[in-house]
Structure 1
Amino acid sequence: MDTTEITALLDARSAAIHAKDLDRLMSFYADDIVYFDVVPPLFYAGADAMRDRFADWFARWSGPIGQQTEDVHVEDGGDVAVVRMLIRTSGTLATGREVGYWVRATDGLRRGAGGWTIAHEHVSLPVEFPQGTAAMHLVPGG
């Protein structure tokens, strides 16, 4: 199984997020993307909804958005693939506050005539029970 194209796509996506390059970022997503995010609503559907969501997210940062991936696992099944990974997002928010936190992410990809695109993405944070708050202090292996 050669996963070079998929890992290159993920690296390029991280670079687009770091640069807050919305057009480049959207090029990695299928037009019919379904995206489960850590923020409401329950999901976003379609490229237009994702463009709006990413534009809003980018505006919440004063500079580049750090993207560090760990524990990337790719399962390639021909014209479909599933990727699971941990992603550390970091940087300075528009409020001036420095942040850094790890999320869990799972991507479902399809290969078409133009190459791989992300057709489904699920990003989550663990929850501290019974408080019901996000566990943003966790680190890989910890």
Structure 2
Amino acid sequence: MTSPDSERQIRELLETRTRALGDRDAATAAAAYADDLVLYDAVGPFVRRGEDPAERLERWLASYRTGVGHEIRDLEITTGADLAFCHFLVRISGTMRDGTEVGMWVRATSCLRRRDGAWTIVHEHASVPFDGDTGRAVLRGEL
């Protein structure tokens, strides 16, 4: 059963991260992550463990000339007493340092744990679909 208070807290956590990415604030964006985060990112390597998420986000944000747009769509949250998960689509956008305009959709799932009354992301999985005929990622199109 989803608790309205837990759902509100998780939405706020995700909204804070979205604002932080737009503001190029890696520390605030990384605050959503637990110390034992397991990350399956859309870019390699296949698994990230034990990596400082703030440092990773700082490197990513530094590759953009602008803040990173992070638009969440179709967010669904399910919560238990101390565990929750959510899945959503997220549009990443912005201008990279080399002038490349980014505008792509990514699928995301976040698993959260409540510790000491606060929700943190313990596992996150981001992926893009691919065209089975060409093997190429599908980053744009109708949703």
Question: Which 4+ runs in 1 deviate beyond 2 A?
Answer: 50-53
Q: Render the CA deviation track for 1:63-102: whole Å, top value 9, x for unaligned.
A: 1111111100000011110000000011111111212111
Identify the match of residue 105 of structure 2 among 102, 105, 122: 102
What is the aligned partner in structure 2 of residue 35 from structure 1?
39
What is the aligned partner in structure 1 of residue 49 from structure 2?
45
Q: Helix, strand or coil for the counterpart of 1:31? A: strand
Q: Helix, strand or coil for the counterpart of 1:131? A: coil
What is the aligned partner in structure 2 of residue 7 from structure 1?
11
Count, aligned residues: 139
Preserved contact between residue 102 and residue 139 of structure 1 (Cα < 8 Å): no
Q: CA deviation at 1:12?
A: 0.4
Output the amino acid matched with 1:36: Y
**Whole-Å separation in 2 of the counterparts to 1:71 and 1:139:** 14
Q: TM-score, normalised by structure 2?
A: 0.92
**Whole-Å separation in 2 of the counterparts to 1:45 and 1:6:** 22
CA RMSD of aligned residues (A): 1.2
Extract unaligned runs of 5+ from structure 1: none
What is the aligned partner in structure 2 of residue 25 from structure 1?
29
Q: Helix, strand or coil for the counterpart of 2:18? A: helix
Q: CA deviation at 1:7?
A: 0.4
**Whole-Å separation in 2 of the counterparts to 1:56 and 1:69:** 22
Q: Helix, strand or coil for the counterpart of 2:126? A: strand
Q: CA deviation at 1:129?
A: 1.5
Identify the match of residue 130 of structure 1 among 128, 133, 141: 133
What is the aligned partner in structure 1 of residue 82 from structure 2?
79
**Whole-Å separation in 1 of the counterparts to 2:101 and 2:119:** 34
Q: CA deviation at 1:47?
A: 4.5
Output the amino acid matched with 2:22: H
**Whole-Å separation in 1 of the counterparts to 2:49 and 2:123:** 9
Q: Percent of counterpart pairs with the same letter? A: 37
